[in-house]
Structure formats: structure tokens, C-alpha cells
Structure 1
């Protein structure tokens, strides 16, 4: 029995498994097994971790994998042996074990980087993982038990990128739900850029500025956080902000497993892959999701660390590892259409198309689309074999 091993049960890993199962099913192939190795048999809906009730933001995978004939192994990958075609992992009993493969899909995702900023690891929160986002939520709920102070009612969000903006614009409603509507609150975004949301492009910037003004969100620009303590942050410009809640949203990097491969990586640690998502320099390893540095078109654009790209990358990587074992032609990855849908809290949202982010929808119209994306589109299919396999076709456009 030949083995396809997929590391990771995020968007890239789940869709890799479904797509591989689909192609094998189409060719009535019964001598290839698919195994997913991950810490939990659940797809964690990471794009929603800035929201409240984060402990609900996951989709169980046991029934889905069973329906399509995918084996799940609970464990954390520790080492990849390229020559031996084996992966060492720590199992649920905290014991080392090994899985072998004929083809490997690395879909181990990414994580927020915490630089060596004084006090950051001890005092700052984040919304990167479901555990850390839940820790933040519990902290917010406990604020009502603290005596009033400016610091208690202030949240500092370090970083004005996509995650920082969504986290900050959701925060006024979350704070008021805890503290009540008769309290003055402050939400402050600290960003190195000289302008508000400079990295988001000229088309989307006015909407972010308008939403910030509407929601009362302050921006402190052209500086950065240099230290964090229990009572607030110090900034590079020498100023201090008193705050009981500091949320770090700056800097993401691909899984450290990428560093074990003798392959080229980009500045974020993502593996360079060919058009079929095979890792350059590897004969038996493919990459999907946030660990893949993959060209989306012939114009110089590359997949972002987003579920929009991870879903399509997974559908192609799974299809292509199966095609490799079947001896048939692969399906080259291409995803020329790029969209963004940025949640802006109670103000609404903003939807753009194209890498130049041409504005298409704003406020309530965009919010309805964002809600549809977050609650329906990015969730895995139901545990029905025919429907799940059909949904894994790499020809299906994601955006």
C-alpha cells in the first residue's frame, strides 16, 4: 500500500486530503492510503480568532475524514527525514513515533512571531491560535472585576496590518459588552507606518480611516512598541500608553518544519514550489497553505498567508500528489483572482478585487459578504462522501 502523508489539518491540509481522495476515487485506486497528522482532528477557523466566542471557532473533522476514507493520526510532527521518507512525531501519549510516506504534503501552517521585546512574552496577548485568543477573551471578561482605571479601559493593538485592523475594529464592541456602555474606552493601534493602514493600499485606506473615526479608534504612527509591562507599553518615540490589554499582531512565519528541508525558502520561511506545488529540490514532497511560496499567476504575484490561497493550494497539492502516484498529469496551480474582505467592526467591512485592491463593496454590503465568508464559505464540507469529494475539485475557484 502506497502512502500519502499530509502534515497539518488547517485549510491547506484538509483540502489536500480531500482532493487526493477525490482523484484516487475517480481512478478507482485502492492501493494508496491517505493519512493526516495533526495535533487535533479539527479545522480551526483562524480567520475568525479576532471575534468573541473564539472557543467555538473550529469544525470537527473525524466524520468528514471517515466519510472520504482518510486516516487521522493525532500527534505533532517533529522531524522530516527526506532520504528515509519518514516523519517523526510526538503522539497523544507524548511518545515518539514514526510515519513513512511515498509522497508528503507539508501543510503545517504559520505562526505569529514574538520578537525579543522586553515584557512581550509575559504581558502581551495575541489572536494567532485558538488557545491564545481564548486566553485574551477570558482576560477581557475579567476586566469588569477590576476597579476603574484608564489602563483597564484601554487596549493597545501593536501592528496596523490586516489582523491588527480586524482585531482593533472589533474591540470597542467587545469591551463595551464587558464593561458596559457608560464607560469611556480607548482602542489604540500602534504602527510603524507613517500613515493609517498604509500597507493596505490607497483604495481601501479611506474606508479604514472612516471606520476608525466612527469607532473612536486612535492610531499612533511612525513608532513601535519597545517594551510591555502589566500597566502598558513604552514606545520607540519615548512616550508611554497606560493599558491593561496589549495585543501583538506583527509578523508571521511559516512552520519551522520548512527549515528541515534542503530547499529554498523566502523571507517568511515559505518553501519555493513549482507550478504543481512540488518543493524545489525534492522528488517526493509538496507544500500547501502558509508554508508554500507559490506563484498565483504569470504576473509576479504569489500566494498570501490566507485561507483564500490555502484552500486552493490544498486542492492542487492533494490532487497532484495523487496524480504523481497514479502516473497521470498534474493540475498546475493558478489562482489569478485575488480579493480581500476586511472586517471593520460595527462600521461594516470593505471588499476589494485585484492585487491593487480596487474597492467594490463597503459598509453593510461588504459586512454581509464577510459574514457569509466567515460562517459558511471557509468551513469544510459536510461529512457526505460524494459532496465532500466534489467540493475538492481544484478547478473550483476560491475567490
Structure 2
């Protein structure tokens, strides 16, 4: 019936591949070929990188894809058109249906010295670089001073977790342009966040913007300087440049608008899922750049691409359940339900939820489950 190509081996792409293979099996459509194209051999469990790197955060893709009959090409993708990819080596891959799922990367601010002197827990490689730097500084013997820039979800997790990693002597500063930490997380979490920062002895500097970063520290607007060799940026995400290569209109985060079936608006053969897609989860809320939305979006896109190839009716993407679990270091964690973030569990109870999420719920099924076991998982 045709060929489906999936660009990207992150959460959206991996779940799209599993869902597409399961739908192909369900339909008995053995003449549909599925191929995943990714720059990496592994799926990085990116939501865990605030902890520091661990090899268990890299999941090999090839054994999983081989088990479900999905071809795997390891190549960076340079650009995309409707149903066509251009790889970094110049090869062109054409598809009858295409899913763009190449994720996002950190949105570094346009500040002199940020890229040269700053760190980020954004990819496995960038986080490993930060880990080595922190180890070197600790071995140097003097107490560390660390500046974390950005006090939303990721910045809060990094800053509070650093207290556990670096010990009581380290000075940890958390900077944000907003007046309060966790500004975008809503009123319900404000008191919890303030308590957690106090317990972690993290100094919050609100209404702060940086003029430049040097090898010796950061210079704030107004001239104040914080002496440090460690500046970590947690300043939000920007969609993969593959979206911009399409020459289609994108939103303020660089994401491609999609219709309720996750089809890219303006194209006929292409779907988008995960951080590269600007999708509505319900009538009022847009999907966030998180694995919580990337996985079900990937499943919907994978199924719909196969259904389209089979000439069958597609299903709309919807995700009524939304929850968050924020790791706050010595405090534990806070688990919330709903877009208004109603607090359900805190401290040790919240931390136990976070462990389940980080070590189980966000991992793909293992190949030793066999094809039928993987398909049962993805259909659940």
C-alpha cells in the first residue's frame, strides 16, 4: 500500500513507530513499509537529565524496531518537504506518508557568552559535559557557586537536585526574569516551590536579566556580577529546525500547526507529533513540549499514517488527562492533576511517584516482550 517514514527517534518518533507497526499488524497490511530515520542510535530519556547522566537514560532503538518490523536508518535529517526528507549526507528519502517527530532543543537566550560559557541539561552529551565540569570543580577543593538561569519546571528541578549532588557548601543561585519562581506553573504551586527552594538553600533572584556571561561569571542588568564558572541555562525549548525548513508558518516556539488528526496544515502527506507539532489536546489547551504529550501524539500520528495508507478513517488526537510531577530535591516532589495543577501528593509520596515516572512509565517496552507484547503495550 505504500511506505511510511518517521523522522526522529525521540519519544514521539519511537511511539509513532510502535503504534504504526501495531496498526499495520491489526489491519493485516503487510505491504506497508515503515522506516524510522534518526541521528541517534538511542532514545534519550531526556526528562531525567536534570539528575545528571546515567547510561540507563539511553535506550537502544535498533533491537526494539527490529522486533516490530520497522527499518532503521541512522542519519541526521537536514530538511523536509511534503512526503520527502533530505538527510545530512545528501540522501533523499521519499514517503507515501511522513511523520515529523524531531523534537526540540534548548532556546538559549541571545546573550554574549551564553553559548561559549554556559551549560545545559538538554541532550545526553551536553549533560555529560556539565557532569564532567561539576566533578572537576568539586575535585578542585573550593566550594562551588552555580547559577541556574530559568525558574520554570526544568530550572527548578536542576537547581534543587544540585543541592543533593553538590552538598551543603555549594552556593546555588536561581535567576529568572519573572518576579516569582515557577511563574508559568500557576498559583497552586507557589507556596510549595518557595518552601522547596528554602529547604534546598537555593537563592532566587527574580526580575533578573543577564547582560553577558564570561568565564568568570555573569553580569546582570544594572551591573551586579555573580562570580561563577558554572552557568546552567534552563530557558525553555525551541522546535527542531526541521519545522523551519518546511517553509510553512510556525508558531512562536517554531512548531508546525497541525489539524485534529495531526496532519501538517498546508501539506497532504505529512503528519507531525511531539515538540515539533502545535496541537490542541482539547478545546482549551495546547500540547506542551513534554514526553507526556509526545508519546500519545506519536501513537495517534503513527496510527493515522497507516490508516491513511490503507484508505481508512483516521482518529482525532485528544488527551484529556494531564498531570505534572516536579522533583524538588531535598523537599521531595509535588504531583498535580489537571491544567490548574491541583496538588495531589508532596514530599516523599510525591518523590515515589516521580521515581515510578522516571524509571518505568516513560520508558518504551523492552524487545524481550516480543512483538505481541509490544503491540499489547501500545494498544493499551
Same fold at TM > 0.5: yes
SS at match of 1:135: helix
SS at match of 1:204: helix
SS at match of 1:392: helix
Q: What is the deviation of 1:251?
A: 2.9
User: Which moved further from structure 2: 13-22 or 202-211?
Assistant: 202-211
Alignment deviations for residues 162-219 of structure 1 (CA, whole Å, 9 cap, x no partner)? 110000010011112xxxx6xx221110111112322211111111111111110110
Partner in structure 2 of residue 166 of structure 1: 157
The 5-angstrom pairing of residues 1-399 of structure 1 reads 2-82=2-82, 85-90=83-88, 95-148=89-142, 153-176=144-167, 184-298=169-283, 300-383=284-367, 384-393=370-379, 396=380
Q: What is the deviation of 1:262?
A: 4.3
1:52–1:174 contact (8 Å) kept in structure 2: no
1:262–1:281 contact (8 Å) kept in structure 2: no
Alignment deviations for residues 8-45 of structure 1 (CA, whole Å, 9 cap, x no partner)? 00000000011110111001111111000001221100
Distance, in Å, in 2 between the alignment partners of 1:168 and 1:313 is 30
SS at match of 2:181: coil
**5+ long unaligned stretches in structure 1:** none
Distance, in Å, in 1 between the alignment partners of 2:345 and 2:141 is 42
User: Which moved further from structure 2: 199-208 or 47-56?
Assistant: 47-56
Distance, in Å, in 2 between the alignment partners of 1:243 and 1:55 is 29
Q: What is the deviation of 1:108?
A: 0.5
SS at match of 2:50: coil
What is the root-mean-square deviation of aligned Cα atoms in Å?
1.3
User: Which moved further from structure 2: 366-375 or 239-248?
Assistant: 239-248
1:125–1:136 contact (8 Å) kept in structure 2: yes
Alignment deviations for residues 133-176 of structure 1 (CA, whole Å, 9 cap, x no partner)? 0000000111133252xxx5111000101110000010011112
**5+ long unaligned stretches in structure 2:** none
1:48–1:54 contact (8 Å) kept in structure 2: no
TM superposition outliers: structure 1 runs of 4+ over 6 Å = none
Q: What is the deviation of 1:259?
A: 1.3
1:263–1:279 contact (8 Å) kept in structure 2: no
Distance, in Å, in 1 between the alignment partners of 2:166 and 2:122 is 19
2:152–2:181 contact (8 Å) kept in structure 1: no
Distance, in Å, in 2 between the alignment partners of 1:264 and 1:335 is 24
Distance, in Å, in 2 between the alignment partners of 1:284 and 1:59 is 30
1:158–1:224 contact (8 Å) kept in structure 2: no
TM-score (norm 1): 0.92
Distance, in Å, in 2 between the alignment partners of 1:308 and 1:81 is 27
SS at match of 1:315: helix
SS at match of 2:301: helix
2:327–2:351 contact (8 Å) kept in structure 1: yes
Distance, in Å, in 2 between the alignment partners of 1:144 and 1:276 is 50
Q: 1:79 to 1:197 in 2, by over 3 A?
A: closer
User: Which moved further from structure 2: 383-392 or 305-314?
Assistant: 383-392
Aligned pairs, number: 378
Alignment deviations for residues 97-132 of structure 1 (CA, whole Å, 9 cap, x no partner)? 121100000000001122321111111100011100
